[in-house]
Amino acid sequence: MVNFNRFASFVALIDAGSFTRAAQILGVTKAMVSADLKRLEAELGVSLVTRTTRRLALTEVGERFHRDCVRLIGEAELAIQQARDGQETLKGTLRVTSTAEYGLNYVLVAIAEFSAIHPELRIEYSTLQHQADLIAQRFDVAVRLGTLRDSTLRATPLQKFSTVPVATRAYLVGKPEITTPDDLARLEWIEHARFTSALTWTELRTGKTMQTPHFKGALEVDTANAALTLVLAGCGAAILPDWLLENDLRDELLIRLVPNYSLPYQGAYAVFPNTAHVPAKVRKFIDFMRDFLRRTM
Q: Indicate which CATH number applies to the domain containing 77.
A: 1.10.10.10
Give pLDDT, residue 295: 86
Whether 170 and 254 share a structural domain: yes
Rounded Cα gap, residues 118 and 282, in angstroms: 13
Q: What is the pLDDT of residue 130?
A: 67
* Most confident segment among 93-102, 141-150, 162-171: 162-171
Counting other chains too, the contacts that 128-132 makes at CB distance below 8 Å and 24 or more residues apart are 128/97, 128/98, 128/99, 129/99, 129/100, 129/222, 129/223, 132/97
Task: Answer yes or no: do 140 and 275 share one domain.
Answer: yes
pLDDT digits (tens, 9 = 90+) for 173-185: 999 899 999 999 9
What span, in angstroms and rounded, lies between the C-alpha atoms of 102 and 239?
Answer: 16
- Residue 142 banded pLDDT, cuts 50, 70, 90: very high
Statement to judge: residues 182 and 235 lie in one domain: yes
Asked if 140 and 272 sit in the same domain, the reply is yes
pLDDT at position 15 is 85
Q: Residues 63, 97: one domain?
A: no
- Domain end residue (candidates: 85, 106, 141): 85
pLDDT at 91: 86
Q: Are residues 219 and 242 in the same domain?
A: yes
Instruction: Name the burial class of residue 57, with classes exposed (0-12), middle (13-18) and buried (19+) by CB atoms within 10 angstroms of its CB.
Output: exposed
Residues 150 and 272 in one domain: yes
Nearest to 237 by CA among 184, 287, 277, 198: 184
Q: Among 231, 266, 224, 222, which Cα is nearest to 103's? A: 224
| Domain extent at residue 194 | 163-264
Confidence check: pLDDT of 81 > 70: no
Whether the per-residue pLDDT at 79 is higher than 90: the answer is no
211: CATH: 3.40.190.290
Position with higher pLDDT, 54 vs 113: 113
Query: Residue 250: its pLDDT value, please?
Result: 92
Instruction: Give residue-wise pLDDT tens across range 11-63.
Output: 888 888 888 888 888 888 989 998 999 998 888 889 999 876 567 888 999 98
Phi-psi region of 258 (alpha: psi -120 to 50; beta: other; left: phi over 0): left
Burial class (CB in 10 A: 0-12, 13-18, 19+), 227: buried
Higher pLDDT, 145 or 255: 255
Verify that 154 and 290 share a domain, yes or no: yes
Q: What is the model's pLDDT at position 195?
A: 79
pLDDT on residue 149: 66
Model pLDDT for residues 119-139, shown as the tens digit of each residue: 999 999 998 766 667 777 788
- The pLDDT assigned to 147 comes to 67
> What domain count does the chain have?
3
* Mean pLDDT lowest among 98-112, 145-159, 253-267: 145-159
The predicted pLDDT at position 259 comes to 95
Q: Is 143 left (phi over 0), alpha (psi -120 to 50) or beta?
A: beta
CATH of the domain at 131: 3.40.190.10
Residue 108 sits at the vertex; the CA angle it makes with 104 and 113, to the nearest 5 degrees, is: 145
The radius of gyration computed from the CA coordinates of the chain, to the nearest angstrom, equals: 24
Q: What is the 3-state secondary structure (H, E, C) of the chain?
A: CCCCHHHHHHHHHHHHCCHHHHHHHHCCCHHHHHHHHHHHHHHHCCCCEEECCCCEEECHHHHHHHHHHHHHHHHHHHHHHHHHHCCCCCCEEEEEEECHHHHHHHHHHHHHHHHHHCCCEEEEEEECCCCCCCCCCCCCEEEEECCCCCCCEEEEEEEEECEEEEECHHHHCCCCCCCCHHHHHHCCEEEECCCCCCEEEEECCCCCEEEECCCCCCEEECCHHHHHHHHHCCCCEEEEEHHHHHHHHHCCCCEECCCCEECCCEEEEEEEECCCCCCHHHHHHHHHHHHHHHHHC
In percent, how much of the chain has pLDDT > 70?
A: 92
Confidence of residue 229 (pLDDT cuts 50, 70, 90): very high
173 in the same domain as 237: yes
Q: What local confidence, expressed as pLDDT, does residue 122 receive?
A: 94
| pLDDT, tens digit (0-9, with 9 covering 90-100), for 194-216 | 777 899 999 999 999 999 998 98
Q: Are residues 260 and 273 in the same domain?
A: no
